[in-house]
Structure 1
Amino acid sequence: MGRNTRKRRTPLATKIVAGAAALAVGGGGLVWANFYASAHEDHGGHNRTRSAGAQVATIDCPDVGQKIRDVPDRARGEVDGELATMDSQITNAYQRLATTRRAQAGDSQFVQNTILGPLKDRRKAIIDRIQLEINRAGGKADDNLDELAGCQGRPADQQNGGGQNGGGQDQEGNDDNGNGVAGPVAEDFVDINDVRPNSRDSRNGLAADGDGGSTGSFTTDCGVNENNLFNSDNLIAAPGVDNGAHHTHDYVGNQDNDAFSSDEDLANADTSCQNQGDKSTYYWPVLRLQDGTQEFDANDQGGGAEGNIGKILKPAEAQIRFVGSRQGDVVAMPKFLRVITGDAKSFTNGDANANSSWSCSGFEDRQVTDKYPLCPEGSQVLRTVNFQSCWDGQNIDSANHRDHMAFVQEDGSCANGFQAVPQLQIRLAYDIPAPTVENGQVRNPYAVDSFPEQLHKPITDHNDFINVMDENLMNEVVDCINRGEDCQ
């Protein structure tokens, strides 16, 4: 189903994790234990529960990639590859955490001595190589990166920056909530009727369009991945690395999008967009219904072998549009501009770069960032996102893939000499039966694909874009927006 077959550079740790596929469950993939557990003891005929909140739920590692700034262009490929290997090391360590429960119960230092300590050493070796590669290429590596080598075990009862809590072990003692994977859990869901209108924190994802400035819009119709183009690569964050995302993406628009696609490949590719001048790539992590379906990637890295199991759900509708600035005209995006919005690691990173927004059709004034909505019958699950729309005027990418773009300020203007470009807004609508939540358990939940250690938390939702519009079409988009017209 749309898998790419080019020869790929694969981090060593990814190859190690592949051996864990022998632990397959009925729904496909690994038993990625979430350790949202409490131990049960029988006293005098009563089933009493004692807290085991101190048990480690997942691994929390500093995000080295977001701290790197001064990387010369000729070192970026090597640095991105090293960061991808670091991601694979975390995946490998999480797999070790998830399959050594008995050993952990018998040794309070097992996690530290057997998992976290060796992981720190391996991360330190990669950081040393990153610093060497930066310096060799003429840059100046941050000498303090070594401080980011150590990781922590996060207890099940510890909240993250986005405000999630863990769930509980069921009466049978299962620690996977009946899903066979690490999440989601019951507390990751909320009835949309219980969400207060207009309560979403708007620090990120600010809409650029408004009553003043450039009020037009341009809509591009690129379908809903009818060609079944899926892979677990990330051309922006991990170019040249197989399975750089550790989760599966939906792709619309450009049809030659994998980790090895060059700008020339993108420019020469077919597109699913009706306007053939738009060869941009738009991609996001798939949603899955954890119903036991064996998908095409049930035993693959990025899929079931990393805890992303169940039926892939395509959106019923994918609305992609570009809008203007409240403060004035917009300028053209440069070709091959790369933009990441949201943070795939926001469960452990905190919400500084989070940009998730979940809702239900008919309830669009109720947006949540850290919960999946339970929608009433006949209402669709909505994922919406407003991208950064301020560009530094020079770069199509940056070392951490973020610094060349920024969100507008509260008044709609761009700061620090950045220029306003058309803001990409994506609205995905899904037909999903509402999961059942009873007695602290969720059955047949849906969840966004994620890095294994992120536990399928809704706040990890994110979206990616590479502009591959031809010059004439981009000029048309800009002119339409600045004239205040609605075009497509």
Structure 2
Amino acid sequence: MGRNTRKRRTPLATKIVAGAAALAVGGGGLVWANFYASAHEDHGGHNRTRSAGAQVATIDCPDVGQKIRDVPDRARGEVDGELATMDSQITNAYQRLATTRRAQAGDSQFVQNSILGPLKDRRKAIIDRIQLEINRAGGKADDNLDELAGCQGRPADQQNGGGQNGGGQDDGQNGDGQNGGGQDDDQNGDGQNQDDNGNGVAGPVADDFVDINDVQPNSRNSRNGLAANGDGGSTGTFTTDCGVNENNLFNSDNLIAAPGVDNGAHHTHDYVGNQDNDAFSSDEDLANADTSCQNQGDKSTYYWPVLRLQDGTQEFDANDQGGGAEGNIGKILKPAQAELKFVGSQQGDVVAMPKFLRIITGDAKSFTNGDANANTSWSCSGFEDRQVTDKYPLCPEGSQVLRTTNFQSCWDGQNIDSANHRDHMAFVQEDGSCPEGFQAIPQLQVRLAYDIPTPTVENGQVQNPYAVDSFPEQLHKPITDHNDFINVMDEDLMNEVVDCINRGEDCQ
């Protein structure tokens, strides 16, 4: 497959992480450590792996970016850059966790003294710089941000449910995994652990999957993602056809959350719509770009983490940052269909989105952050009344895997972005209305359908699993799925979208 080849600068932090991650690359491409047990237990019909030792599976750090408010505009670029460096530090620390299993087994304080302690010091230095940058720009930094410097280790099967640090370093799942660097953890003499599900990375595991027949109808456990439209209000729809990334536009940037930072996402994205979307694209670049959308007035960018089939395929990014060098391996699966639809409000008319409005929905760090911003819906065609947020569905033969996202549809009426990239947007309330101070805009709904061979789960192991690309420490958990959008429709088309929805028509 191809990829975005636009020339980009590489920040020092990325070079440092690249060097560290290179330790995990072996002769056959990346072999990333996996931390799952050699003992299994059955709980409620689902196979779970249980720790055979006293090592942690991943690193849980408070999300500083979600706690920052009121960053002056002229400081936002610097702050976003610092936050991206902090993400790189976590990736680096996780890689060290993955490649020092033997040392951890021989020293109960190794993780704290050699990984978590130094990580806290590095994070503290960045938080100090963030506070300084905010204050220099005329803002007032939160003096309590230092409390977010410390990280914890915790088990892979313990999801953080409240957005706080969860778990401890003495009760986690572990396995000795694979180690591509040949250091520290090779109990079998060849770096191979037979309990790594055959995929060589930290997840997914058997317990990340559920038979769709075992999911109760109408039991979706996401707090967000409420559909905005209904029987009343503005009932029209507008569908834009932008393809399924036939142009092979991929990169591991995130223009919204980490502008100006190469590999800011640490995982690879699919892009449809705008064809000039990378970390260094300006609004002018977006406005002047080509688009894959059939309606050439829609130059919006729509992007999401790729799904991969962990079948041993060496993709174009098998040795790259964001790809195999950070545990995202296997065959990239393009959607068989990508439906992009805008719908209305239950409570009345919608207003036009401002050009260059940015929306992030879901949370790429939900496994460690908790599910407050999780907005994932996984299902199977023919079973759309059965939705899950924290499991990948096992679909029957002939049924497609469905991945659906309903974006926030309430806008603050002023800002195209906010310091944490969330506060300028809100979800509708239970009655379909927007919170006070917000107004309804067309709600973007993204429905992706995939033809995926159903993984085999047997004796607590999953063979040829599929998984969403993720930050390395998020262990490819389905709850980390997310979606991104930047509105680059021209004024005439946006007015057409609004008129169509408010008239109750179905347009495209």
Corresponding position of 1:339: 359
1:240 matched residue in structure 2: 260
Q: Once the 2 structures are TM-superposed, how far is the Cα of residue 229 of structure 1 from its aligned partner?
A: 0.2
Residues 27 and 251 of structure 1, relative CA distance in 2, 3 Å threshold = farther
1:33 Cα shift? 2.3
Whether contact under 8 Å (1:195, 1:366) holds in the other structure is yes
Q: Is the 8 A contact 2:21 2:92 kept in 1?
A: no
Asked whether the equivalents of residues 182 and 307 of structure 1 are also in contact (C-alpha less than 8 Å), the reply is yes
CA–CA separation in structure 2 for the residues paired with 1:171 and 1:303: 21
Once the two structures are superposed, residues 95-141 of structure 1 have per-residue CA deviations (whole angstroms, 9 ceiling, x without a partner) of 00000001001110000000000000000000000000000000000
Shift of 1:161: 2.2
Match of 1:125 in 2: 125
Q: Is the 8 A contact 1:20 1:30 kept in 2?
A: no
1:214/1:176 Cα in 2 relative to 1: closer, same or farther (>3 Å)? same
Rounded Cα–Cα distance in structure 2 between residues aligned with 1:43 and 1:219: 43
Distance in 2 (CA, whole Å) between partners of 1:260 and 1:368 is 35
**Cα drift, residue 37 of structure 1:** 2.2
Contact 1:163 1:370 in 2 (8 A): no
Q: Residues 102 and 326 of structure 1: is their aligned pair in 2 closer, same or farther, counting only changes over 3 Å?
A: same
Matched residue count: 488
- The answer to whether the Cα contact below 8 Å between 2:195 and 2:461 also exists between their aligned partners in 1 is no
Shift of 1:173: 4.3
Q: Secondary structure at the match of 1:376?
A: coil
Does the 8 Å contact 1:38/1:168 carry over to 2? Answer: no
The Cα of 1:13 is off from its aligned counterpart by: 3.7
1:42–1:265: structure 2 CA closer, same or farther, 3 Å change rule?
Answer: closer
Superposition pairs of residues 85-100 of structure 1, within 5 angstroms: 85-100=85-100
Preserved contact between residue 25 and residue 325 of structure 2 (Cα < 8 Å)? no
Between 21-30 and 288-297, the greater mean CA deviation after superposition:
21-30
Contact 1:38 1:49 in 2 (8 A): yes
- Does the Cα contact within 8 Å between 2:233 and 2:346 map onto a contact in 1? yes
1:27·1:180 contact (CA, 8 Å) conserved in 2?
no
Q: Deviations over 1:246-304 (max 9, x none)?
A: 00000000000000000000000000000000000000000000000010000000000
CA positional deviation for 1:12: 3.3
Task: Give the drift of 1:52.
Answer: 3.0
Q: TM-score, normalised by structure 1?
A: 0.94
Provide the TM-score with structure 2 as the length reference.
0.90
Query: Do the aligned residues in 2 keep the contact of 1:11 with 1:84 (CA within 8 Å)?
Result: no
Following superposition, the deviation at residue 216 of structure 1 comes to 0.2
TM superposition shift of 1:157: 4.7
After TM superposition, give the deviation of residue 25 of structure 1 in Å: 6.6
Q: Distance in 2 between matches of 1:83 and 1:332?
A: 31
Indicate if the aligned counterparts of 2:350 and 2:440 stay in contact, CA closer than 8 A. yes
| Distance (whole Å) between structure 2 residues aligned to residue 325 and residue 239 of structure 1 | 31
Taking a change above 3 Å as real, the CA distance of residues 288 and 49 of structure 1, as seen in their structure-2 partners, is closer
* 1:59-80 Cα deviation digits (max 9, x unpaired): 0000000000010000000000
Which sits farther off after the overlay, 21-30 or 244-253? 21-30
CA distance 1:239–1:61, shift in 2 (3 Å): same
Measured in 1, the distance between the counterparts of 2:123 and 2:43 equals 46
SS at match of 1:395: coil
Name the counterpart of 2:49.
Answer: 49
CA displacement 1:388-446 (0-9 Å, x = unmatched): 00000000000000000000000000012100000000000000000000000000000
Q: CA deviation at 1:50?
A: 8.7
Cα-to-partner distance string for 1:131-155 (whole Å, 9 max, x where unaligned): 0000000000000000000000012
The offset of 1:36, in angstroms, is 2.0
Alpha-carbon shift at residue 8 of structure 1 (Å) = 3.4
- From the superposition, tell whether residues 49 and 369 of structure 1 become closer, same or farther in structure 2 (CA, over 3 Å): closer
Taking the aligned partners of 2:50 and 2:269, their CA distance within structure 1 comes to: 40
Structure 2, unaligned runs of 5 or more: 166-179, 184-189
Tell whether the 8 Å contact from 2:26 to 2:181 is kept in structure 1 after alignment: no
2:238 match: secondary structure: strand
Identity %: 95
What SS does the aligned partner of 1:437 have?
strand
| Deviation of the 1:176 alpha carbon | 2.5
CA contact (8 A) 1:28 1:310 kept: no
SS of 1:56's equivalent in the other structure is: coil
SS at match of 2:74: helix
Using a 3 Å threshold, how does the CA distance of structure 1 residues 484 and 123 change in structure 2: closer, same or farther?
A: same
Contact 1:386 1:425 in 2 (8 A): yes
Q: Is the 8 A contact 2:24 2:181 kept in 1?
A: no
5+ residue gaps, structure 1, are: none
Following superposition, the deviation at residue 18 of structure 1 comes to: 1.8
- Poorly superposed stretches of 4+, deviation over 4 Å: 20-29, 38-51, 162-173
**What is the SS of the residue equivalent to 1:416?**
coil
Secondary structure at the aligned position of 1:123 is classed as helix
Contact 1:167 1:186 in 2 (8 A): no
